[in-house]
């Protein structure tokens, strides 16, 4: 049974039984405390917790998920994968335990010919929370399971909560027994790979408080409306139904594994380590493909960093399989073909996805090349000192700074006959993780506690009237201070105010929140921020500047008209620049992020190379021509499918409802889904002035622009500079570039002549220095102070020249100088001196110790320094003494 068929059977089964079929949400989580959608129930959490009234009594979905907390286990077990699909059925106050158990058992054990999955009842086990006698009784009566195949487990495995006060409840899990060939008897309680969990049923029936840990909390009451949340692992059922050993061998994943095998020439199944690497490649390539299809791009932070890590682990695994060249064109196309039947957008957006993936692979292969060079030098240095161990801090530097995997460091060191100081490396890695944990200490890893908003959201959605109104009369529904709901807030306090209506725009879609005030009888509030903490609710963060604001008070929101005008100009300007970019660069230049505020905008877009000055000028010209042409800006609301059929572009990672707002500028020239505020005609934007273009990752670029009056002010400032230059240089404006070029050329020529004079002056010092030679034993020594010098390079040049002039007899040259108020000493030895055991590095460390600093280098030349120029004579004396000894 193909994975796509298992998926469709699930949706058909529950759809036919009154469940609303809900499309998968994006892998990019709406929850600001969680980067990715990590479970099938995540999109339904607001309904399950009562934060938002459920729009349907029962629902079903097949949800795309990403989890990376067990990334090191990928490939080693049959069930760990970063990308997976979780099927789920949900009840919001409708059916409860009996219905959930009946549905699960029926679908699993009904024959394939009758639309079920056809599992044999004798192979199925269940676990329940140890005190849930009701669930045990239901399993016996519905499924006829004997006592020995129902195992009672504790809260750590069979109890669900958000980790915060609120809904919670016991769970029951269904396991498939793979048979004695896969492990000992004993059931799921053995926690053995023989028993594979395929379905988890959560019975959300209690309210908990005083949450102290995952297993320590107080149950205070039963919920008046009980919910069901279940999830079945699609990949786990697929590998069981397809008769393969693990999830990496199912039809949606195996093609990538096979391609990795072909490219490497290694047979899958022949070697355990190679098998793990192929499974890592198969999992990570698929996960990366799906992340990028939802708009995530490689970067050095957040979601982009996780994606980059997956891509680089794939490259590393192929490298360890013996493939050093690019492989993504082969691997990603195999994954595309396997996944597109279930997710057509993967094929539709493949040009954009592949461009990003190939660029990242190319960048990392260059990183590996440079890391290998550094590693080779470190290996060579270790060998020269007679050590058989590569320092742990070197391995950590390669890993942390260059992204060079420790596996490759171990491999290359082993080939050179060295081991790596793993204890030191692991210690440094541990310290780094502790720093990361400390940095994230205040960030919640579980579901955000938004319960304070639930009572307000239950009153309905906040109406946003700001598209057409700059003021709006409203009523105060709630006030929050320090996370707690209160009845009032007084002058000087900062609070969140929830209103029934507002004209103030909440930050979203890249547009900054409005500025403004909220006024009422006896109070005035300065608006600091406007956000949407939960879907449908707008919260205003305010400072009470006068009086006392209370719940139920009448209030009027007043938008700062000047700021709103600037924000509208910037947001419409973003659409115009995006259209101009696509007109010049083509459809692959797709917006990947933006930020707009009054007078300023930035636009991130998918592209893998810098834009030339000529291209930027062309983009700016097209944008300002669109402004000059006074194009109509039209906004319409329509069903999402209709908007897409009209060609409206959506921003990857943004969430859209069934009804969307479409913004047209010049008709189809710019047609995007957007909930922001906009101008009425393009001429209201005023002016676009592109001020910067930069990289935000190997496959993303960023353009920044000033808009409107700010754009004019910036150009006026440049005009003032030009006027000043024309006056100073007595040159007409149109001749300034040539005049400045001539001046720069003249300056370079003068600097060149000065350098030549300095070199001549130095050369004249060589005879003087040769006249100071003293013989120490069998070695000729020059040890002199040069006084003040411009740079250490000048000192090095003299040292090298003097050494060459001393001939082939043993010789040491030690010259010191005051360089920018710091003592510098450089020492050189010739071959005869080194043969006699005299090493420049050892001598310079001796001298640097006298100077109050440090130094080092090779046997033939070394450099040191310190803090005290007055100690230079003593340092030189110490060199002579060291040669004597």
pLDDT above 70 (res 442): no
Mean pLDDT throughout 593-616? 92
Final residue in a domain of this structure, among 439, 468, 495: 439
Domain of 215? 3-249
CATH of the domain at 803: 3.10.310.40
Mean pLDDT throughout 307-325? 90
pLDDT above 80 (res 448): no
Final residue in a domain of this structure, among 384, 415, 439: 439
Residues 463 and 405 in one domain: no
pLDDT grade, residue 211 (50/70/90)? confident
Q: Does 503 map to a domain?
A: yes
Residues 154 and 297 in one domain: no
Q: Does 726 map to a domain?
A: no
Residue with tokens 């707690």: 484
pLDDT grade, residue 433 (50/70/90)? low
Q: Does 731 map to a domain?
A: no
Residue with tokens 């008897």: 185
Q: How far apart are CA 642 and CA 853, in angstroms?
A: 72
Q: Does 723 map to a domain?
A: no
What is residue 449's predicted lDDT score, i.e. its pLDDT?
61
Mean pLDDT throughout 869-879? 92
Q: ∠434-439-444 over CA atoms, to 5°? A: 105
80 marked among binding-site residues: no
CATH of the domain at 658: 3.30.980.10
Whether the CB-CB separation of 682 and 676 falls below 8 Å is answered with: no
Distance of CA 676 to the CA centre of its chain: 25
Neighbours of 797 (CB within 10 A): 16
pLDDT above 50 (res 444): no
696-750 pLDDT per residue, tens: 876 789 999 999 999 999 999 999 999 999 999 999 999 999 999 999 999 999 9
Nearest alpha carbon to residue 95 among 151, 174, 10, 14:
14
Residues 574 and 472 in one domain: no
Mean pLDDT throughout 300-304? 81
Q: Does 306 map to a domain?
A: yes
Tokens of 667: 């008709």
What is the Cα Rg of the chain in Å?
35
575 marked among binding-site residues: yes
Q: ∠499-501-502 over CA atoms, to 5°? A: 90
65 marked among binding-site residues: no
What is residue 435's predicted lDDT score, i.e. its pLDDT?
63
What is residue 359's predicted lDDT score, i.e. its pLDDT?
87
Tell me how many domains the chain contains. 5
Return the H-helix or E-strand segment holding 781.
strand 779-788
Residues 262 and 122 in one domain: no
Residue 482 DSSP SS3: coil
pLDDT above 60 (res 447): no
Residues 603 and 616 in one domain: yes
339-368 pLDDT per residue, tens: 999 999 999 889 889 988 998 898 888 877
Mean pLDDT throughout 254-259? 96
pLDDT above 70 (res 589): yes
What is residue 653's predicted lDDT score, i.e. its pLDDT?
55
Mean pLDDT throughout 607-622? 93
Final residue in a domain of this structure, among 189, 214, 249: 249
Nearest alpha carbon to residue 514 among 556, 475, 567:
567
Residues 312 and 416 in one domain: yes
Mean pLDDT throughout 180-203? 90
Higher pLDDT, 430 or 402: 430
What is residue 256's predicted lDDT score, i.e. its pLDDT?
96
Mean pLDDT throughout 144-172? 91
540 marked among binding-site residues: no
What is residue 321's predicted lDDT score, i.e. its pLDDT?
93
Tokens of 509: 């879609």
pLDDT above 90 (res 519): yes
CATH of the domain at 490: 2.40.30.130
Residues 587 and 678 in one domain: yes
Give first-to-last CA distance, the chain, whole Å.
Answer: 84
CATH of the domain at 228: 3.30.930.10
Q: DSSP strand E in 574-719: where?
A: 591-597, 600-606, 633-639, 659-665, 670-673, 688-695, 700-707
Q: Does 212 map to a domain?
A: yes
Question: Which of the residue ranges 259-263, 453-457, 647-651 would you say has the lowest mean pLDDT?
Answer: 647-651
630-640 pLDDT per residue, tens: 999 999 999 98
Whether the CB-CB separation of 824 and 817 falls below 8 Å is answered with: yes
Q: Does 189 map to a domain?
A: yes
Percent of the chain with pLDDT over 70: 96
Residue with tokens 């001939």: 807
Neighbours of 709 (CB within 10 A): 16
Residues 158 and 29 in one domain: yes
Contacts of residue 5, Cβ cutoff 8 Å, sequence gap at least 6: none
Tokens of 435: 């720093």
pLDDT above 90 (res 235): yes
Residues 787 and 880 in one domain: yes
What is residue 431's predicted lDDT score, i.e. its pLDDT?
80
Residues 434 and 554 in one domain: no
Neighbours of 730 (CB within 10 A): 7
Residues 102 and 85 in one domain: yes
Residues 213 and 115 in one domain: yes
Residue 623 DSSP SS3: helix
Residue with tokens 């033939």: 860
36-81 pLDDT per residue, tens: 888 888 888 888 888 888 999 999 999 999 988 777 778 887 667 8
Q: Does 7 map to a domain?
A: yes
Total H helices, total E strands in the chain? 25, 34
Mean pLDDT throughout 71-94? 87
Higher pLDDT, 521 or 450: 521
What is residue 445's predicted lDDT score, i.e. its pLDDT?
35
């Amino acid at each position: 049974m193909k994975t796509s068929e298992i998926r469709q059977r699930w949706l058909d089964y529950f759809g036919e039984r009154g469940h609303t079929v809900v499309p998968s949400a994006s892998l990019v989580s709406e929850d600001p405390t969680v980067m990715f959608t990590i479970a099938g129930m995540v999109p339904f959490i607001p309904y399950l917790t009562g934060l938002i009234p459920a729009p349907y009594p029962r629902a079903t979905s097949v949800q795309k998920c990403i989890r990376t907390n067990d990334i090191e286990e990928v490939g080693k077990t049959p069930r760990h994968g970063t990308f997976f699909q979780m099927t789920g059925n949900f009840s919001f106050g409708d059916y409860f335990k009996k219905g959930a158990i009946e549905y699960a058992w029926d679908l699993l054990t009904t024959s394939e010919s009758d639309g079920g999955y056809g599992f044999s009842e004798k192979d199925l086990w269940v676990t329940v929370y140890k005190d849930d006698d009701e669930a045990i009784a239901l399993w016996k009566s519905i499924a006829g399971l004997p006592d020995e195949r129902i195992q009672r487990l504790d809260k750590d495995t069979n109890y669900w909560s958000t980790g915060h006060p609120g809904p919670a409840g016991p769970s029951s899990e269904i396991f498939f027994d793979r048979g004695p060939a896969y492990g000992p008897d004993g059931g799921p309680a053995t926690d053995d790979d023989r028993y594979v969990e395929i379905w988890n049923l959560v019975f959300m029936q209690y309210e908990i408080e005083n949450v102290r840990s995952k297993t320590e909390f107080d149950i205070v009451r039963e919920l008046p409306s009980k919910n069901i949340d279940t999830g079945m692992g699609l990949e786990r059922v697929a590998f069981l139904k397809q008769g393969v050993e693990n999830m990496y061998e199912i039809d949606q994943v195996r093609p990538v594994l096979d391609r990795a095998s072909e490219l490497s020439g290694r047979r899958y199944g022949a070697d355990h380590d190679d098998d793990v690497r192929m499974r890592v490649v198969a999992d990570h390539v698929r996960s990366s493909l799906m992340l990028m299809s939802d708009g995530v791009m490689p970067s050095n932070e957040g979601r982009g960093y996780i994606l980059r890590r997956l891509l680089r682990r794939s490259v590393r695994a192929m490298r360890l399989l013996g493939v050093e060249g690019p492989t993504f064109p082969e691997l990603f196309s195999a994954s595309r073909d396997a996944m597109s039947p279930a997710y057509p957008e993967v094929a539709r957006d493949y040009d954009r996805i592949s461009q990003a993936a190939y660029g990242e692979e190319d960048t990392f292969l260059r990183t590996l090349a440079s890391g290998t060079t550094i590693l080779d030098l470190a290996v060579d240095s270790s060998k020269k000192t007679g050590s058989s161990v590569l320092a742990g801090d070197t391995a950590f530097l390669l890993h942390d700074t260059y992204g060079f995997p420790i596996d490759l460091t171990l491999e290359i060191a082993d080939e050179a006959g060295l081991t790596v100081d793993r204890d030191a490396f692991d210690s440094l890695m541990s310290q780094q993780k502790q720093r990361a944990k400390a940095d994230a200490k205040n960030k919640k890893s579980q579901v955000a506690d938004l319960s304070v908003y639930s009572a307000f959201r239950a009153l309905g959605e906040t109406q946003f009237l700001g598209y057409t109104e700059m003021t709006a009369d409203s009523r105060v529904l709630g006030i929050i201070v320090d996370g707690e709901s209160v009845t009032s807030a007084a002058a000087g306090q900062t609070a969140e105010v929830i209103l029934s209506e507002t004209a103030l725009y909440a930050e979203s879609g890249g547009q900054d929140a409005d500025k403004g005030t909220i006024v009422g009888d006896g109070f005035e509030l300065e608006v600091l921020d406007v956000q949407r903490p939960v879907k449908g609710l707008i919260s205003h963060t305010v400072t009470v500047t006068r009086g006392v604001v209370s719940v139920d008070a009448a209030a009027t929101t007043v938008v700062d008209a000047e700021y709103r005008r600037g924000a509208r100009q910037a947001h419409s300007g973003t659409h115009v620049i995006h259209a101009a970019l696509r007109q010049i660069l083509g459809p692959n230049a797709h917006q990947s992020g933006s930020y707009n505020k009054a007078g300023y905008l930035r636009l991130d877009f998918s592209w893998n190379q810098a834009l030339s000055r000529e291209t930027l000028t062309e983009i700016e010209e097209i944008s300002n021509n669109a402004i000059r042409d006074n194009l109509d800006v039209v906004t319409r609301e329509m069903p999402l499918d209709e908007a897409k059929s009209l060609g409206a572009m959506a921003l990857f990672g943004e969430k859209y409802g069934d009804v969307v707002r479409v913004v047209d500028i010049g008709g189809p020239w710019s047609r995007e889904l957007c909930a922001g505020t906009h101008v009425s005609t393009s001429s209201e934007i005023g002016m676009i002035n592109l001020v910067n273009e930069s990289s935000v990752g190997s496959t993303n670029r960023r353009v920044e622009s000033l808009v409107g009056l700010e754009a004019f002010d910036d150009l006026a400032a440049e005009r003032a500079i030009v006027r000043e230059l024309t006056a100073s240089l007595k040159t007409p404006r149109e001749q300034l570039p040539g005049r400045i070029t001539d001046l720069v050329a003249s300056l370079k020529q003068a600097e060149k002549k000065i350098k030549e004079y300095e070199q001549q002056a130095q050369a004249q010092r060589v005879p003087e220095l040769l006249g100071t030679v003293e013989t120490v034993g069998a070695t000729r020594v020059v040890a002199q102070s040069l006084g003040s010098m411009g740079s250490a390079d000048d000192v090095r040049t003299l040292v090298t020249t003097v050494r060459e002039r001393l001939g082939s007899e043993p010789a040491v040259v030690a010259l010191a100088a005051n360089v920018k108020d710091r003592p510098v000493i450089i020492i050189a030895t010739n071959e005869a001196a080194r043969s006699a055991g005299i090493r420049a590095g050892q001598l310079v460390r001796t001298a640097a110790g006298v100077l109050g600093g440090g130094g080092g280098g090779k046997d033939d030349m070394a450099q040191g320094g310190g803090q005290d120029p007055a100690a230079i004579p003593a340092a030189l004396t110490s060199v002579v003494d060291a040669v004597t000894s």
